[in-house]
Structure 1
């Protein structure tokens, strides 16, 4: 069973008097333990597709299934809970809070959940991404690659089934980007998660188990 599946998904936006069809009858799936990379030119619908997979937006038509459950008609509160527990997000610009240490940034998604103590997992994740000696460093004391590793650890803190990466190597030099991709490859196997990335980076395509090309809202 696919951890995430989109079936016949259509997304239309109203812009003034014009209707824009951003996605057209898209079928997409991702399995645990694989990395799927979505490519395509600017304006092809990549961000819209990633928002659908991440349950940040809902389709105009079609269905979204998470672990076999149809979540298409979930309320916003229900979708928020699914995102919190099932999906981790990694962004091109890291989105770390500058006043927090690496450990605190990783713990951040769980800070309002008093039922769990994630400190040990945060420390373990930072060790696993090679930052065991940077636990108390703030973002301005870390390199770009180190900040992206903190962001990856943060995305894994809630033990998600899916990791979504939006241009995760976009702000990194080629060597650092390669290190991050090697890290993601190892983590998808260790954590048995699906990684779905949107990228313009040809280097990332080489690490993917499967490449999906999107052009004008359609998968080719």
Structure 2
């Protein structure tokens, strides 16, 4: 069963009195243990597609399923809970809170949980991405690659089924990017998650199990 599935998804926006169709009947799926990269020129609808997959935006028409459940018509609270429990996000700019340590940043998405093991899981995840000696460091004490590792650990803290990445290697040099992608591949297999990554980086495409080309809102 696919972790995420889009069926005939369309997304229209009103802009300057005109209707812009960002997605035009997109069919897509991502499976456990699979990394799918979404590529395409600027303005092709990649960010819109990622937002729909991540339940940050709702389609104008079509169906979105997470773990086989139709979530298309979920209300705001239901979508928030679905994102919290099922989806992890990794961003190009890391989005770490500067006043928190690495461990505290990783724990942040689970702060409303009563699970006493979240602190131990945060430490374990940081050790698994090679930051066992940086647990108490704040982001300004970490390199770009180390900050991205913290962001990846944070995305996995709630044991999501789906990991979404928006240009995750965009701010990294090639060697650091390769190290990050090696770790992402290993964690993908260990955690058995589906990964969907939007990218312009050919290096990331090389690590993908499958690549989807989105052009003018359509998969080609």
TM-score by length of 1: 0.99
Cα distance in 2 for residues equivalent to 1:126 and 1:114: 21
Number of residue-to-residue matches in the alignment = 220
* DSSP-derived class of the 1:4 partner: strand
Aligned to 1:110: 110
Runs of 4+ with >2 A deviation: 112-117
Where structure 1 has 5 or more consecutive residues not aligned to the other structure, the ranges are none
Please give the root-mean-square deviation of Cα atoms over the aligned residues, in Å: 0.7
- 1:80 matched to 2:67? The reply is no
Residue 55 of structure 2: aligned partner: 55
**2:27 matched to 1:18?**
no
Residue of structure 1 equivalent to 2:94: 94
Partner Cα distance (2:56, 2:160) in 1 = 16
Aligned to 2:149: 149
Residue 206 (structure 1) aligned with residue 186 (structure 2): no
* Superposition TM-score, scaled by structure 2 size: 0.99
| Structure 2: tracts of 5 or more residues without a match | none
Alignment correspondent of 1:171: 171
For residue 3 of structure 1, give the secondary structure of its aligned residue in structure 2: strand
**In 2, Cα distance between the equivalents of 1:157 and 1:190?**
14
How far has the Cα of 1:134 moved from its partner? 0.4
Q: How far does the alpha carbon of each residue in 1:107-135 deviate from its partner, in whole angstroms, 9 at most, with x for none? A: 01111223544000000000000000000
Tell me the CA shift for residue 155 of structure 1: 0.3
Matched with 1:189 is 189
